[in-house]
Amino acid sequence: MGLGFVVGVFGVLILAHAAYSTIQYRGLLKITEEEFSGPPMNVVAELLLGLVFCMWAGLTVPGKFLSILPDSEENRIVSLPANLDFMSFNHRGKVFPKELDVKLKL
């Protein structure tokens, strides 16, 4: 959690720095009156790095992925709940009284 969060912040900072460098580069182009042919190398590298960091943080920080397959261990239903609303006490448990029949001391 801590590590992922720090990496995410770092990624956002890198992206912000890339934006700042782009603005600077455009200002430089205006001054030298050159045509825009493509973003500079360091901006592209920063964008890619920021993308990787942000994606990694986004996938790890919020938590684990849950399975959506119906036959995975988490989703595979192995038994239905006992129908407790329709529970009846008239069963053979009566014949085997519990030795634990002590009063609740209050």
Partner 1 sequence: MVSKTEETQLSNLENQVDNGGGGAWEFLCLVRKLKVRRSEMVLKHGLSILRDPKKRSSLGPEEWTLYEQVAIAAMDCQCLNVAKDCIKVLHKKFPESKRVGRLEALLLEANGSWEEAEKAYSSLLEDNPLDQAIHKRRVAMAKAQGNMSGAIEFLNKYLEIFMADHDAWRELAEIYVSLQMYKQAAFCYEELILSQPMVPQYHLAYADVLYTLGGLENLQTAKKYYASTIDLTGGKNTRALFGICLCSSAIGQLSKGRNKDDKESPELQSLAATALEREYKQIAPDKLSLLTTALKSLKVSA
Q: How many alpha carbons lie under 13 Å from residue 71 in its C-beta half-sphere?
A: 0
Q: Is residue 2 a contact point for partner 1 (CB under 8 A)?
A: no
Closest distance of CB 63 from partner 1, Å:
16
User: What string marks each residue from 72 to 101 as x (binds partner 1 by CB under 8 A) or -?
Assistant: xxxxxxxxxxxxxxxxxxx--xx--xx-xx
Q: Is residue 68 a contact point for partner 1 (CB under 8 A)?
A: no
1 Cβ contact list (under 8 Å, min separation 6): 61
- Contact indicator for 69, 75 with CB cutoff of 8 Å: yes
Closest distance of CB 66 from partner 1, Å:
11
What is the C-alpha to C-alpha distance for residues 52 and 45, in angstroms, rounded to an integer?
11
Interface segment toward partner 1; rule CB under 8 A; list 8-16, 37-45, 48-56, 70-78: 70-78
- Contact indicator for 5, 53 with CB cutoff of 8 Å: no
Applying CB under 8 A, what is the total number of residues that bind partner 1? 33
Q: Is residue 65 a contact point for partner 1 (CB under 8 A)?
A: no
